[in-house]
Amino acid sequence: MALSPEQKDKILDRIKERTQTIRKCVVCGNNTWELSDGFFSMQENLSKLNLGGRGQPCVAVTCNNCGNTNLLNLMVLGLGDLIESPNA
């Protein structure tokens, strides 16, 4: 599901608060990143796929040059409320 402009702004603001500097991509050295449109979940139990089971809600930031992707945990960012909002 697509993120609303308000959700994107909230996520980007929190990332900027928590990072001292925007880091270069470790793969290609590029310094331009994009927030992916939607939420992702990392499954806690890798022995079987459990749709709707426990997972870690994340957002992805992707290098615009090489596609290197980093997942950021919404709970650690203090944004768990976003996954429970009507737009999530």
Per-residue model confidence as pLDDT tens digits over 39-86: 887 766 556 655 555 678 899 999 999 999 999 999 999 998 887 654
Contacts of 3 (CB under 8 A, 6+ apart): 11, 35, 37, 38, 39, 87
pTM: 0.75
pLDDT digits (tens, 9 = 90+) for 1-42: 688 999 999 998 998 888 876 688 999 999 888 999 888 877
* pLDDT at site 88: 45
Structure tokens belonging to residue 82: 């976003």
